[in-house]
Amino acid sequence: MTVPSTYKSVIKRYKSCPEDIRKFYEAFEDLVNDYTYEVSIAYCFLKLEQAYNRTLYGGVRKMRKVHTEIARSVMDKQHLTRDGFLELYENVYGRSLPDTLVRNIKFAEKIRDRIIHGKKVGDKDARKCLVDILAFSEGLESEVKAIASFSPYADMRGLTGKSTSLDKTTSRWVMKGMGFAVS
C-alpha cells in the first residue's frame, strides 16, 4: 500500500471508506486535522478494540445463538489480546481471518506500541499506520459480512432477527467451549 504523503491524503483515504466505517470512526477527520498523529492513532485503536468486541459479540449472537445477557456479560469481562482476538474469531466464525488481512494490521500495531510506550514515530509511519487501520477495518467488515451478514461497524440492532436464543446455561457452555472466559 502506498504511504500517504500528507495528512490530506490520509483524510482522503478515510473519506473513501464505506459509510459504516466512516460513522464508526466519526472523530477521525477532526483528529487528523486538529491534533498530532499520536492522538489519532490512539483513538483509532480504541475504536478498533470496540470493533473486535462487536465482531465477537455479533458472531456469538448471530451464528451461535448465544443468549443476549450471557453474550454481553462474557464480552464485558473478556480480556482481549491481539492473538486472543484472532483465536476467538476463528472459534466463533469457523475460519481464521486471512493472513493478508492480519499482516495488514501488524505494522499499525507496532506503531501504536511505540507511541503508547513513549517512543518517537515519524510522520510517514504514523500516516501509514492510520491508512492501514482503515484498510484492515474494511477487510474485517468484508469478512464478517461474507460469513455472518452483518457489519461490526454498523448499528447492530436487529442482529438476530426473530431467531430464538439458547437458554442461559447452554449459552455459558457454548461460550466456554469457544474459549471465552466464563465465570
What pLDDT band is residue 2 in, cutting at 50, 70 and 90?
Answer: confident
| pLDDT for the residue 160 | 86
Find out whether 134 and 47 touch, Cβ atoms under 8 Å: no
Find out whether 2 and 20 touch, Cβ atoms under 8 Å: no
CA–CA distance, 32 with 14 (Å, rounded to integer): 10
What pLDDT band is residue 162 in, cutting at 50, 70 and 90?
Answer: confident
| pLDDT for the residue 150 | 96
| pLDDT for the residue 1 | 60
Residue 120, helix vs strand vs coil: coil
| pLDDT for the residue 64 | 96
Task: Check whether 8 has a pLDDT greater than 90.
Answer: yes
So where are the chain's domains? 7-177
Find out whether 37 and 127 touch, Cβ atoms under 8 Å: yes
- What confidence tens digit (pLDDT) does each residue in 21-49 have? 999 999 999 999 999 999 999 999 999 99
pLDDT average, residue stretch 92-116: 95
Query: Looking at per-residue confidence, does 183 or 13 come out higher?
Result: 13
Find out whether 113 and 107 touch, Cβ atoms under 8 Å: no
User: Which one-letter DSSP state was computed for residue 182?
Assistant: -
Task: Check whether 109 has a pLDDT greater than 90.
Answer: yes
DSSP secondary structure string for all residues of 26-91 = TTHHHHHHHS-HHHHHHHHHHHHHHHHHHHHHHHHHHTT---HHHHHHHHHH----HHHHHHHHHH
Task: Check whether 155 has a pLDDT greater than 80.
Answer: yes
pLDDT average, residue stretch 109-121: 96
pLDDT average, residue stretch 50-74: 97
CA–CA distance, 79 with 49 (Å, rounded to integer): 11
What pLDDT band is residue 152 in, cutting at 50, 70 and 90?
Answer: very high
pLDDT average, residue stretch 71-81: 95
pLDDT average, residue stretch 48-70: 97
Whole-number average pLDDT of the chain: 95
Spacing of C-alpha 92 from chain mean position: 15
| pLDDT for the residue 157 | 86
